[in-house]
Amino acid sequence: MPTKPKIAFYWCASCGGCEEAVVDLAEDILGVIEKIDIVLWPVAMDFKKKDIQAMPDGSIVATLLNGAIRSDEQEEMAHLLRRKSQYMIAYGACAHLGGIPSLANQYSREQMLKYVYEETPTTHNEQKVRPQLKWSENGREVTLPELRHVVRALDQVVDVDYYIPGCPPTPKITQQAVGALLEGKLPPKGTTLAPDIALCDQCARKGTKPTDVSFTEFKRPHQKLLDPEKCFLSQGVVCMGPATRGGCEAVCTAGNMPCTGCFGPTSRVKDQGAKILSSLCANIGPRDEEGIDKVLAGIPDPVGTFYRYGLAKCMLRRKVNLPPQAQEAKV
Ligand code: SF4
Ligand code: SF4
């Protein structure tokens, strides 16, 4: 009997949604599983790191790794799986671009830990206890992974062959990518496995997208009764569609929510946030400083709006005026 291609799934700094996306293949997953031999999938199967370590280098056909790289353990696993795999595939927005976890690059590691363990409104921690990297009791030692200073996308840590975008990727593009892999019909290395078109091209509202607009205010989706037919930009609501890659078939705009940009930029856009920011700012109605500030006040979280999924990979990458210890740290 011919051996089936070995495939690994792994997750790093992610929410688990990408794992759900694989399960969302529903009954189609059976067709996929029939053709492959899963050698690692921590969320669903009990293989261990030592099982992978024991495999010859390059013996896994492809690893689909989701999640950003935040800890030394995730970095170690990314290197191990890279060595063992012919193809390393960044699966989902966090592995592709840093994702929502990389919004933490606005803060130093210490600022983040201090806030989480000492300062959140719901924290009661008078002794300021924090997780320890090592703990010994009764002659036994337990360890925890150490957090790096910054969150990185997968290709900032290891060589990546392909990218499957989305938060999470849709079942359709997952299936198409796995199909291309199994049939040996992969495009050139470095390709993002989704259409290289702007999301607006797939959006049912594109006929109402304004060509000439003058923004006098921005509203967030919950602050307005949204017209389900009209382009969000014509309603003064930020939509990342013009700067975002298509492929999801505009599921959010179909559900009456603006696109938040999870598929990342097309190949023609260098910086997703800068692209949408420049087009919005060029169309702000008022020309005086006070008037401009008033309009922009409708976007209270610009980084979270324009770089929600891609801070690690954008031109800014992280906040620069961090404390010295975070500045000096390479990672
Ligand atoms: S800006 Fe948003 S709502 Fe308007 S056409 Fe593009 S994706 Fe659709
Ligand atoms: S509409 Fe935008 S945010 Fe929603 S799934 Fe598509 S790319 Fe992602």
pLDDT tens track for 163-174:
999 999 998 999
Residues 287-294, mean pLDDT to the nearest whole number: 93
User: Where is average pLDDT lowest: 11-20, 180-189, 282-291, 318-327?
Assistant: 318-327
What is the spatial distance between Cα 143 and Cα 60, in angstroms, rounded to a whole number?
A: 29
CA 317, 321, 324 angle in degrees (round to 5)?
Answer: 105
Which protein residue's CA is at the shortest distance from atom 8 of ligand 2?
262
Residue 217 C-alpha to ligand 1 middle, in angstroms?
A: 18
99: buried, middle or exposed (CB in 10 Å: 19+, 13-18, 0-12)?
Answer: buried
Closest to 65 measured CA to CA, from 52, 55, 56, 54: 52
Residue 101 C-alpha to ligand 1 middle, in angstroms?
A: 26
**What CATH number should be reported for the domain whose range is 6-100+149-182?**
3.40.50.700
Residue 200 C-alpha to ligand 1 middle, in angstroms?
A: 5
Closest to 312 measured CA to CA, from 116, 16, 98: 98
Residue 325's pLDDT band (boundaries 50, 70, 90)?
Answer: low
Domain residue ranges in the chain: 6-100+149-182, 109-147, 199-300
Does any ligand 2 atom lie closer than 6 A to the CB of residue 262? yes
Which protein residue's CA is at the shortest distance from atom 4 of ligand 1?
231
Residue 329, pLDDT > 60, answer: no
pTM over 0.85? The answer is yes
Residue 23's pLDDT band (boundaries 50, 70, 90)?
Answer: confident
Per-position b or e across 254-279, b if 16+ CB within 10 A of its CB: eeeebbbbbbbbbeebebbbbbbbee
Q: What is the pLDDT of residues 26-67, one digit of tens each?
A: 667 777 778 889 999 998 889 999 999 999 999 999 999 999
How does DSSP classify residue 68? Answer: B
Does any ligand 2 atom lie closer than 6 A to the CB of residue 259? yes
Sheet with 85-91: list strands edge to edge. 37-40, 6-11, 60-66, 85-91, 162-164
Does any ligand 2 atom lie closer than 6 A to the CB of residue 22? no
Does any ligand 2 atom lie closer than 6 A to the CB of residue 239? no
pLDDT reported for residue 212: 84
Does any ligand 1 atom lie closer than 6 A to the CB of residue 307? no
